[in-house]
Amino acid sequence: MSLKTDATLASSTVERRKPWRTQSFKDHLSGYLYISPFFLIFGVFTVFPVLWSGYISFFSWNILGDKEFIGLQNYVWLITDDPRFWKSVGNTFSIWILSTVPQLFFALVIANILNSNVLKFKQFFRVGLFVPNVTSLVAVAIVFTSIFGYNYGLLNYALNSLFGLENTDWGASYYGAQLVLSIMVMWRWTGYNAIIYLAALQSIPGDLYEAATIDGASKTQQFFHITIPMIRPMILFTVVMSTIGGMQLFVEPLLYQGAQGGSQGQVLTMVLYLYDTAFTKNSFGYASAIAWLMFLIIIAFSFFNMYLTRKIQSAN
């Protein structure tokens, strides 16, 4: 009996020394196995290309021949001897300002209208706001190209009929093309941001507005002293997301003016320049350097946005 007890204790000790046989370990392992497909795909299609682009940015490589190691020369050329890259940077920022600032302003106005009690058929308008966001970009580009066309464009026809103005070649004009592209971006994303603001507005307690009304505050005062401070985190979120999206603008300018961004590079953005360098000129090492420099610019600008917003918040 004593020997059997000792054997049982020894067996239990061995079992305790093997944690991979415990149920707790198996539960943890099965959890990791369930989520492992995502991380495998993420690693293959996201992490590896990022690291690989950083590696080949130090080479001169046209994807078909051998790679030639040139160190930081791609970055030196890009920063000191590539005016077309800096033109794309300037275009990206000017289009971002033209599209993002009015876009967020109109989104806030639309969200306030949707949140008011006087508006009927709110569900219909909420669904309608999402329509531009889910519409094919190809269709959007065709429609806007037709509206702003030189000879038969709807806008030129209206300006000519109503005010007697001569036709304007919006696509050939430097700032005209950027304006058209900005309107295209605004049309697509204003409703999306309005829905985000609407969700934030509906989370504000009604007691605050009732107390402000009793104290004699006007609707304008309530908007600037209650609404804006209460949804400030959401405004910061949309500013950061719009910044990242605006810096990565690609499909709209490609469909509107082609891979060159127009005859004068009117709408040549950073990502469009990267695409043109990699897949038209087959200069993948140089294109990778563009990608990494663009990444640093986006990070720096996003941090500047957050710093500016927090300074405004602390000042208030």
Give me the percent of the chain exceeding a pLDDT of 70: 93
* Contact criterion met (CB below 8 Å) for 212 and 226: yes
Tell me how far apart the alpha carbons of residues 29 and 108 are, in angstroms, rounded to a whole number. 47
Q: How many domains does the chain have?
A: 2
Task: For residue 195, give Cα distances in angstroms to 110, 190, 229, 249.
Answer: 9, 9, 18, 22
Residues 137 and 169 in one domain: yes
Domain, as residue range, for 38? 23-57
Neighbouring CB atoms inside 10 A of 64's CB total 7
Q: What is the pLDDT of residue 163?
A: 86
Asked whether residue 88 falls in the same domain as residue 51, the answer is: no
- What's the pLDDT band for 313 if we cut at 50, 70, 90? low
Choose between 191 and 11: higher pLDDT. Answer: 191
The CATH code of the domain that includes 262 is: 1.10.3720.10
Residues 6+ apart with CB under 8 A from 135: 188
Cβ proximity of 193 and 104 under 8 Å = yes
Q: Cα dist. 99→186, 188, 189, 236 in Å?
A: 6, 10, 9, 17
Give the pLDDT of residue 285. Answer: 92
What was the pLDDT predicted at 165? 84
pLDDT class of 7 with cuts at 50, 70, 90: low
pLDDT tens digits along 258-306? 888 888 888 899 999 999 999 888 899 999 999 999 999 988 887 887 7
Please tell me the pTM assigned to this model. Answer: 0.80
Shared domain for 85 and 145, answered yes or no, is yes
What confidence category does residue 9 fall into, taking pLDDT thresholds of 50, 70 and 90? low
- Note whether 285 and 56 are within 8 A (CB): yes
Do 113 and 159 sit in the same domain of this protein?
yes
Question: How sure is the predictor about 315, in pLDDT bands with cuts at 50, 70 and 90?
Answer: low
Q: Are the beta carbons of 78 and 295 closer than 8 angstroms?
A: no
Q: In 3-state terms, what secondary structure has residue 143?
A: helix
4 belongs to a structural domain: no
- Is 18 domain-assigned? no
Residue 1 lies in a domain: no
Same domain (yes/no): 102, 173:
yes
Tokens of 115: 């949140």
Place of tokens 């415990």: 22
- Cβ-in-10-Å burial (0-12, 13-18, 19+) of 222 comes to middle
Q: Is residue 69 part of a domain?
A: no
**Over the stretch 185-232, which tens digit does the pLDDT of each residue have?**
999 899 999 999 999 998 888 888 889 888 888 888 888 888 888 888
Q: Which residue has the higher pLDDT, 139 or 2?
A: 139
- Which of 63, 43, 47, 9 is CA-nearest to residue 281? 63
Q: In this structure, is residue 89 part of a structural domain?
A: yes
How many Cα atoms occupy the beta-carbon half-sphere of 232 within 13 Å? 15
| Average pLDDT of the residues in 230-249 | 86
* pLDDT per residue as tens digits for the range 86-103: 999 999 999 999 988 899
168 lies in the same domain as 29: no
51 and 95 share one domain: no
Residue 8, pLDDT score: 58
159 and 257 fall within a common domain:
yes
Instruction: Look at phi and psi of residue 258 and say left if phi exceeds 0, alpha if psi is from -120 to 50, else beta.
Output: left
In a domain, 118, yes or no: yes
The tens digit of pLDDT for each residue in 170-187 reads 888 888 899 999 999 999
Residue 5 has pLDDT above 70, yes or no: no
Query: Residue 308 above 80 pLDDT?
Result: no
pLDDT at 4 over 80: no
Residues 246 and 154 in one domain: yes
Q: Same domain for 149 and 47?
A: no
Q: Which among 248, 238, 240 is positioned nearest to 294, based on CA atoms?
A: 248
Task: Report yes or no on 104 lying in a domain.
Answer: yes
pLDDT digits (tens, 9 = 90+) for 12-59: 555 556 777 778 888 888 888 998 999 999 999 999 999 999 999 999
Are residues 88 and 218 both part of a single domain?
Answer: yes
Same domain, 166 and 283: yes
Mean of all residue pLDDT scores within the chain? 85
Length of the chain in terms of residues written: 316
Owner of token pair 């077309």 = 84
Residue 175: inside a domain: yes
